[in-house]
Amino acid sequence: MAVVPKLNIVKNLTKRKVCIGLEIHATLKTKHKLFSNTINHSNINFKQNSNANLFDLGFPGSLPVINNEAVCQAIKASLVLNANVNKFSQFLTFYIYSYDLPLGYQITQKDHPIANYGFLDIMSGSKDFQSKVKKRISINQIQLEMDSAKSIQNNNYVYLDFNRSNQPVLEIVTNPTLESSDDTVSFLKLLLRELIHNELTITNIEQGTFRTDVNISLTDSLDKFGTRCEIKHLSSFNSIKQAIDFEIERQNKLLDNGVEVQHETRGFNEKTLETFLLREKEMDADYRFLPEPDLPIIEVSDRVIDTLRSELPESLQARRERLLSYGLSDYTVNVLMDQYKAVEFFEKCAKNRDKKKVANWMVGEIFRFLNENAAEAAGLGDESSFNENQESVMSLSMNDLPISAERLGEVIDLVDSEQVSALRGKNILRKILREKLTETPLQIAKDLGYIQMKIDLEEFNAIFEKIAAENYKQIERLKGKKNAKKSLKGFFMGKFMSETKGKLNPLDCDKFLEEKLDQN
């Protein structure tokens, strides 16, 4: 096998076509595991190796029993992904030696999966949303399989956590129609968003509940694929993008030097940002697939499909169009839709209120709080660290928010009614979030002395004259400056705030000073 020098990653200047196909493994959200009655711990924190029964551990004599809920979840996912649900599907026993498979094999599907021929449409191209074009990414098949035990590496040892063994995994296999790392990440984000929105999986990406294997090949031909390499076990969007970019350049370098790309399975080093050889790729003939004798063939009627389809919530596309109809920007809509349950929270708060204002409070304050707390929980220190590492931490969700939509609305109302300033309104909200206060925003504002004063023109004039009399010399000096009005206005504004202990509405004061200084 040819040895190639370490590569410097540069922009791909060759005209070779990049073909990227994905194998996505998403842990399904179910009460029990796939083939046993063990609780599915994917959304529960169990002690390691405390949540596995005899079948999960591979004890002789223990038999698999199909989890109907997992089958229904897989069918729902297939419908969401616009796939054709097969009337019959079959489980196979996949014999392969791996230390994390206690049975000595994996129960999966291959030739007769749950569904085939789905798709998702992504917006491809420039980062400028207006310049993007719709691109259809085709899905070859969707199948159910049992998960392996979780490997935990510690120094020179590898430990196994069998809590994950036999969890229900939905494997989604795309056709090699993706052509860039950006489009790949866009597709995966949309896919995950769809699965979460329809409550088919959970959000703990960092716990390995959404893993991706990436197949990449380069070709000069319009009708022929190149030799593909598979990059295994990528579990963050950053890693996926970096691994694809490196692998494209690695294969380009090989081909430019006249070296054939080998059919390999590779890993990705997140420190060096390079892929590395795991093993030479096996062909299907090297694997042994046999029908699983202890599980029945799954038969799905049209009535079952129609029933499951009726249980799906509003589509993401319909939700997006409704949010855009409120006048929200594409960026704001994306931020709201990226956070589980955020849209429901937003619409509840925005009822009978200015929707743009509510969205700004959500994006500017609520999500900042969630991000800051997720960063603190992960030991990253600050929000900027969180933003750079958001896929490696367990982000908080709207369910963790210590304020209701109604309470947020009351804070916004205090600001809109000019009872408190915008700055102090934000302080009230942060105090509620940080200290988990149960008092009403109005009561908190009163306790903190935040309620703004309402004074009439006569009182304004009296305060103005008092300030002018006490600061005569300084005012005269300011009058001689080039931007005298601006300087005087700033001076008087500060004095007014001092006289009223910050309780005067700055907008009222600004309006009064504008008129007063024009008169003089």
Grouped pLDDT means (10 residues each) for the chain, 520 residues: 42 75 96 95 76 95 97 98 97 91 95 97 71 89 96 88 95 96 95 93 76 95 88 92 97 94 94 92 70 96 98 92 95 88 94 96 92 63 42 56 94 92 92 93 91 77 84 78 79 82 76 74
Q: Per the domain annotation, does 152 fall within a domain?
A: yes
In a domain, 29, yes or no: yes
pLDDT for res 282: 63
State the CB neighbour count (10 A cutoff) for residue 410.
19
> What is the distance between the alpha carbons of residues 426 and 422, in angstroms, rounded to a whole number?
6
In a domain, 2, yes or no: no
Look at residue 283 and tell me if it is in a domain.
Answer: yes
pLDDT number for residue 473:
79
Q: What is the total count of domains within the chain?
A: 3
Q: Is residue 12 part of a domain?
A: no
pLDDT of 231: 97
Among 303, 329, 355, give the residue marking a domain's end.
303
Question: What's the pLDDT score for residue 91?
Answer: 98
Same structural domain, 349 and 242: no
Residue 6 covered by a domain: no
Contact 195, 80 (CB under 8 A): yes
Q: What is the DSSP pairing of strand 92-95 with strand 105-108?
A: antiparallel
Q: Are residues 173 and 115 in the same domain?
A: yes
| Residues 133 and 27 occupy one common structural domain | yes
**Local structure of 453: helix, strand or coil:** strand
Among 87, 59, 207, 61, which residue's Cα sits nearest to residue 147?
207
Q: Residues 148, 27, 288, CA angle at the centre, nearest 5°?
A: 40
Pairing verdict, β 229-234 and 264-269:
parallel
Q: Final residue of a domain: which of 285, 303, 321?
A: 303
Cα separation values, 196 from 145, 147, 172, 313, 401, Å = 19, 19, 15, 11, 18
Domain end marker among 400, 419, 447: 447
In this structure, the answer to whether residues 443 and 464 fall within a common structural domain is no
Answer yes or no: do 338 and 296 share one domain: no
Q: Looking at the structure, do residues 438 and 464 belong to the same domain, yes or no?
A: no
Per-residue HEC secondary structure of 301-367 comes to CHHHHHHHHHCCCCCHHHHHHHHHHCCCCHHHHHHHHHCCCHHHHHHHHHCCCCHHHHHHHHHHHHH
337 & 319 share domain: yes
**Which structure tokens are listed for 404?**
């209701």
Q: Which domain holds residue 462?
A: 457-519
Q: Are residues 175 and 50 in the same domain?
A: yes
Both 331 and 396 in one domain: the answer is yes
Task: Report the candidate in 410, 432, 433, 411 with the shortest Cα–Cα distance to residue 422.
Answer: 411
Alpha helices for 448-483 (secondary structure H) = 457-470, 472-479
Q: What pLDDT does residue 442 have?
A: 94
The verdict on residue 77 lying in a domain is yes
Output the pTM of the full model.
0.77
Q: What is the pLDDT of residue 131?
A: 60
Start-to-end CA distance of the chain, whole Å, equals 88
Closest to 160 (Cα-Cα) out of 104, 106, 204, 99: 99
Contact 137, 122 (CB under 8 A): yes
pLDDT at 460: 79
Q: Are residues 138 and 253 in the same domain?
A: yes
Please tell me whether residues 73 and 151 are part of one structural domain. Answer: yes
Rounded-to-integer distance, Cα 78 and Cα 198, Å: 11
Asked, for residue 452, whether it belongs to a domain, the answer is no
Cα gap 414→382, rounded to integer Å: 29
Phi (first) and psi of residue 46, to 5 degrees = -95, 150
Closest CA to 212 of 383, 25, 422: 25
Kindly state whether residues 27 and 59 are assigned to the same domain. Answer: yes
Provide the 3-class DSSP secondary structure of residue 64: coil
Residue whose C-alpha is closest to residue 353's, from 288, 416, 438, 446:
416
